[in-house]
Amino acid sequence: MKLTYLAHPVGSDADRAANLERVRRWFRWALDEYLDSAIVVPWLPYCQNLAETPDNRKRGIRDDLAVLSRCDAILLCGGWLSPGMDAELTLARKLGLEVINRLCLGNEPPEFE
């Protein structure tokens, strides 16, 4: 089984709450779409439990990259590449991980049953 890291934009502005709701929908979609993968979203609990501060963001990215370094693939979703996702993608490419780019699907995941 492949370990796949789900990358999605979060942001620090008014769209943050909406983005976090969207990532839940993408996660649910990915569970059905990638049956050969264990989908991980290690940054989500950080976003839900830590205030948006520079120190917390720095720690979150540090910890996320540590998890990503143990994965087999990265799944990019959410319609656009944020600065945090760019850092994740850079590391994934450096490590030779499989890159699954679904940014072209837009902000929302495709419909699923």
pLDDT at residue number 62 = 95
The verdict on residue 112 lying in a domain is no
Whether 74 maps to a domain, the answer reads yes
| CATH assignment at residue 54 | 3.40.50.450
15-71-90-11 Cα dihedral, nearest 10 degrees: 10
Domain range enclosing 51 = 2-105
CB 10 within 8 A of CB 61: no
pLDDT at 26: 97
Inside any domain, residue 113: no
Closest among 74, 71, 67 to 99, alpha carbons compared: 74
Residue 88, CA distances (Å) to 35, 42, 67 in order: 23, 12, 10
Task: Provide block-wise average pLDDT over 10 residues at a time, the chain (113 residues).
Answer: 96 80 95 97 92 90 96 97 94 98 96 70
Quote the crossing angle between the two packed helices 54-68 and 83-95, to the nearest 10°.
Answer: 30
